[in-house]
Amino acid sequence: MQVEDLLQKALNLDFLGTEEGIFLFENANTADLMYVGNALRQKQRPGNEVSWIIDRNSNTTNVCIANCKFCNFYRRPGHDEVYITSIEEYKKKIEETFSYGGEQLLLQGGHHPDLGIEYYVNLFKELKSLYPNLKLHALGPPEIAHIAKLDGMTHTEVLSALKEAGLDSLPGAGAEILSDRVRRLISKGKCGGEEWLDVMRAAHQLDITTSATMMFGHIETNEERMDHLVRMRQVQEEKPDHAKGFIAFIPWPFQDEDTILKRIKRARNTCTGDEYIRMIAMSRIMLPNVKNIQASWLTVGKKVAQLCLHAGANDFGSIMIEENVVSAAGAKFRFTAQGIQDAIAEAGYIPKLRNQEYEYRALPENIVQQQLDSNKMIVD
């Protein structure tokens, strides 16, 4: 194999195999990967615009029996700090989100042993009844698999019921690394890699738009990273023509602060800015059938995320009015609506507000700028 041949193959929008991806990641220089990543971005999303969104990551509950070793957010059943979010609390969160110019709730929680399909159907119906214009980007494949197991349903039955109740799109949460070797060590209580993909296959058949993710930089190998990308690409190839499938791919590095994974498995976040930029470029190279690649400013900060916009990323994600899970493991970066637009402009691009379908929308007039505490977080 030759680096130049593989880069040309990527520029032709041909699919690279796992071994080819490994070779390219380990041997190509960063400048060449960035150049090809950016060229492919221009083929998929031509122009000088970078998208972003206003929403909040709220949690249905912090009760979880999955026991993920990288998560500091969850509490076991019976813990003094367990909660289930009430409708009154949702109302406050949603109305605040609207005041900031948002229209969407990214709603996720833990694997609660007592919350099955009836709970989520009733919750979604009530939220949509109270706020008909609210968009619900909710749950994820592990939660769908958990609900299916609790209630003896198929993935399709669960997804159909949730879609009818008001689910608008399905996040790519809980992918981590799809290798079952890795999953057994870091998230044994979650569904396996193939079941994660099967849930997404079912969602695409129902024309539910999804996203895909990867949390890397812990105990996985480069082979497992590239295999993860290849398997995501294959599921995208299988989607029906009428479905958008994976609307975006979002890779981010493991956050290790106070995690069991760091204490027990000695896994540390050693991902440098250069490595993250290379992974953004490789994501664009390995996923020519996924149009949008998002840079995770939440985990790598503004400057590295800005460089990613020149390496294949075309999206800056959300201002995250609220985010509790990744932040609990050490992610401290934050943006206001104005701050994220300024950061995109500083990188040489035009900021464009979008919805979850990656359709541009006008920035509402007279929105309230979120007040952030610079003593507790890094505010840009």
Between CA 316 and CA 239 the distance in angstroms is: 25
291-314 tens-digit pLDDT: 999 999 888 989 999 999 999 999
* Per-residue model confidence (pLDDT) at position 187: 86
Residue indicated by tokens 């939660």: 143
**Residue 219 per-residue DSSP state:** S
What b-and-e string marks burial along 205-221, b requiring 16 or more CB atoms within 10 Å of the CB?
bbebbbbbbbbbbbbbe
Domain-located, residue 339: yes
Rg (CA), the chain: 20
* Among the ranges given (90-104, 125-139, 225-239, 255-269), the one the predictor scored with the smallest mean pLDDT: 255-269
* Per-residue model confidence (pLDDT) at position 219: 86
Residue indicated by tokens 């296959």: 201
Q: Give the residue, 326 or 95, on which the prediction is more confident.
A: 95
* Among the ranges given (133-137, 218-222, 308-312), the one the predictor scored with the smallest mean pLDDT: 218-222
Domain-located, residue 174: yes
Helix (H, G, I), strand (E, B) or coil at 17: coil
Domain-located, residue 148: yes
Query: Is 247's pLDDT higher than 60?
Result: yes
* Per-residue model confidence (pLDDT) at position 355: 95
Task: Let me know the angle formed at the C-alpha of 125 by 119 and 128, rounded to the nearest 5 degrees.
Answer: 135
* Among the ranges given (124-133, 278-287, 323-332), the one the predictor scored with the smallest mean pLDDT: 323-332
Domain-located, residue 369: no
The number of distinct structural domains making up the chain is 1
Residue indicated by tokens 């995770």: 296
Domain-located, residue 377: no
Query: Is 140's pLDDT higher than 70?
Result: yes
Between CA 191 and CA 183 the distance in angstroms is: 9
Mean pLDDT taken over the chain: 90
Confidence of residue 57 (pLDDT cuts 50, 70, 90): confident
Query: Is 179's pLDDT higher than 60?
Result: yes
* Per-residue model confidence (pLDDT) at position 330: 44
Of 251, 252, 247, which Cα lies nearest the Cα of 292?
247
* Per-residue model confidence (pLDDT) at position 11: 97
* Per-residue model confidence (pLDDT) at position 368: 76
Domain-located, residue 134: yes
Between CA 266 and CA 369 the distance in angstroms is: 40
Q: How many CA atoms lie within 13 A of 85 on its CB side?
A: 21
Between CA 327 and CA 323 the distance in angstroms is: 7
Residue indicated by tokens 């044994």: 188
* Per-residue model confidence (pLDDT) at position 144: 97
Domain-located, residue 373: no
Mean pLDDT of 139-146: 96
Confidence of residue 337 (pLDDT cuts 50, 70, 90): confident
Confidence of residue 333 (pLDDT cuts 50, 70, 90): low
* Per-residue model confidence (pLDDT) at position 22: 98
| Residue 45 near residue 22, CB atoms below 8 Å | no
- For the four alpha carbons of 237, 239, 242 and 245, in that order, the dihedral sign comes to negative
Mean pLDDT of 55-84: 84
Range of the domain at 210: 3-357
Confidence of residue 374 (pLDDT cuts 50, 70, 90): low
* Per-residue model confidence (pLDDT) at position 34: 98
Confidence of residue 210 (pLDDT cuts 50, 70, 90): very high
Q: Give the residue, 140 or 80, on which the prediction is more confident.
A: 140
Query: Is 72's pLDDT higher than 90?
Result: no
What b-and-e string marks burial along 95-121, b requiring 16 or more CB atoms within 10 Å of the CB?
eebbebbbbbbbbbbbbbeebbbebbb
Task: Kindly report the CATH number assigned to the domain that includes residue 138.
Answer: 3.20.20.70
Q: Which helix (H) or strand (E) holds 338?
A: helix 337-346
Query: Is 109's pLDDT higher than 50?
Result: yes
Mean pLDDT of 182-206: 94
Domain-located, residue 362: no
Distances (CA, A) of 59 to 56, 91, 105, 311, 323: 10, 13, 10, 32, 9
Q: Give the residue, 29 or 368, on which the prediction is more confident.
A: 29
* Per-residue model confidence (pLDDT) at position 377: 43
